[in-house]
Structure 1
């Protein structure tokens, strides 16, 4: 019975073409794609690499690599023609719409005027995009560094005169707009508005291989550090060894670069 109910629900939600009385908006999707291409991806784009890095939060080669992998994984992002031969939305429009929502927190409807993509399609693209990112990049990136990764990180950091540094650690606050009234005092700290804390460790090229999210904003960074699992692998002897020498002294444990709130904390 449950399977039949799920099947009927899916059939009910399935799109069945035009709806009587609904106004059709001719968005000129081709022009929306061409504008994005001229602005950022042409041989002589309107906005050069500095603007691309600032607006997309990454360099153009990395973005092109991401979109190429997303297209190969999920054909939803491949541009197709409808039954009348009209070109549908391009992968650039769908992926950039998802990027803008994730990077800036804008509403789906706001992107219609710039990317020429409808609100429901933007939300659908975001769901497909998030699932594809996790499926494609989870294994190589969403993990702690192994011995090979650690050796590469230590070598690069030593060239920057930080021998033995594993990565940079810090916390940031995400505003919780719809925080329940009863919880607001618990989640409000020096930001005066309810926030949720994200603790992260990143490398020089922004490889974020540790993320601990969910602590209330009333806590400080050192309290969050005590509750996270950042040192669990090291305490249990599962973290690759780190050996380096500074001023003639040999050390067998790496360290994280942090700001002044973090005390010197050596695991025994």
Structure 2
């Protein structure tokens, strides 16, 4: 069997007929070219039209990249910029110093953001243009070509800049801004909880749902809940200053808050006794673990303090009011996170779940960076941490364990219903005495 016959067998019948038609048409037109004075370009146009081959030419747009960089620099980063710092803060969702710090770290970590010359020896986009595009897409939730007229950046480059930016920020700043609270942090959280009537409180826990517009059809049933729209769940723990200490993202919406809790690693360090142990005394009873304020859907564990659904009596009503008010810290954190980064407020338009996880993580990281940057030390409530550490009722320590028996004991202690009700009763009495005094 020859090569021509083998090729014919590989082609479909319709395709082979079309090829023969093109060849025969080309032969006839070639004969006409030899014996006629017809224009060669016209003949070739008729060949292409007859074969129905439509070659789509790539449209090239000449962008003045240097002019875009100069415009951005004069507007926001010059010694005397056109727009004042308050407008920079509103449009970039952060101060200029914090932006420049991120830009310096990202440019040093990822060579993609360094300004280079292309094959035509023309200067490419600067790191200011690429990072500004990524931040505007995060802050405003706009499409990739929204910044083209102002920054002279194409749609493909904008999308690539966003993906590389979120990846770089997660790799650089996760260790610092997605960490567990240390000794000093816990002391500050405990002192603030004591001042608000909840001693030994470490924060509040809840879940947020992000709608996934472009969820693959094969996954829609898995990611859809009672609202019949695919969403992804974020579990978070936030403190009084809106700092997000724990962020677990990626589970489908078909899981409720309890299922997400079982999959997250929120208590893994505590179960392995690698977390800081908090020894505390409330109403004459000793406790060894911190707790979080939670909704009624969460289980009755010793690490959760929930409200009373239908409180009866002044003590229970006072406790329910205080618990529901202080538990809103995490809801306020979700609201501020969505207000700062509209990309997590609107429906997600990306197709890959890995990209969505990086975007959610980078929004939490940037949120914590902004919280730390804008924390006013002079106006903050001064707390005597040394006095807290010297207080005999509070001890912060770290106990490591490698035995399976100790792991099981701690695991059961976390899920102890008896301790849950005892802690709730002690807090009710503590708030009532604090209210009377």
**Residue 289 (structure 2) aligned to one of 250, 253, 258:** 253
2:98 paired with 1:62: yes
Q: Distance in 2 between matches of 1:54 and 1:165?
A: 33
Report the structure number with the largest CA radius of gyration: 2
Distance 1:129 1:238, change over 3 A: same
Please, what TM-score do these two structures have when normalized by structure 1?
Answer: 0.72
**Structure 1, residues 131-169: CA drift from partner, whole Å, max 9, x if none?**
322332233233333434434544565566654332332
- How many residues are matched? 247
Deviation at 1:251?
A: 3.8
**Residue 253 (structure 2) aligned to one of 217, 225, 228:** 217
Contact 1:175 1:193 survives alignment (8 Å): yes
- RMSD, matched Cα: 3.4
**Residue 100 (structure 1) aligned to one of 136, 156, 177:** 136
Q: Which residue of 1 aligns with 2:149?
A: 113
2:99 paired with 1:76: no
Larger RCO: Structure 1 or Structure 2 (Cα < 8 Å, ≥ 6 residues apart)? 2
**Residue 173 (structure 1) aligned to one of 172, 184, 209:** 209
Please, what TM-score do these two structures have when normalized by structure 2?
Answer: 0.48
2:222 paired with 1:189: no
Contact 1:242 1:254 survives alignment (8 Å): yes
SS at match of 2:147: helix
Q: Distance in 2 between matches of 1:240 and 1:213?
A: 24
- The gaps in structure 1 that reach 5 residues or longer are 1-20
Between Structure 1 and Structure 2, the one with more helix by share is 2
Q: Distance in 1 between matches of 2:125 and 2:89?
A: 24
What is the correspondence of 1:1-268 to structure 2 with a 5 Å cutoff?
Answer: 22-41=58-77, 43=80, 45-46=82-83, 48-49=85-86, 52-80=88-116, 86-155=122-191, 163-181=199-217, 183-203=219-239, 207-244=243-280, 251-259=287-295, 261-262=297-298, 264-266=300-302, 267=414, 268=416
Contact 1:174 1:195 survives alignment (8 Å): yes
Q: Distance in 1 between matches of 2:265 and 2:146?
A: 39
**Structure 1, residues 6-60: CA drift from partner, whole Å, max 9, x if none?**
xxxxxxxxxxxxxxx65442322233234434554454553653x5455444444
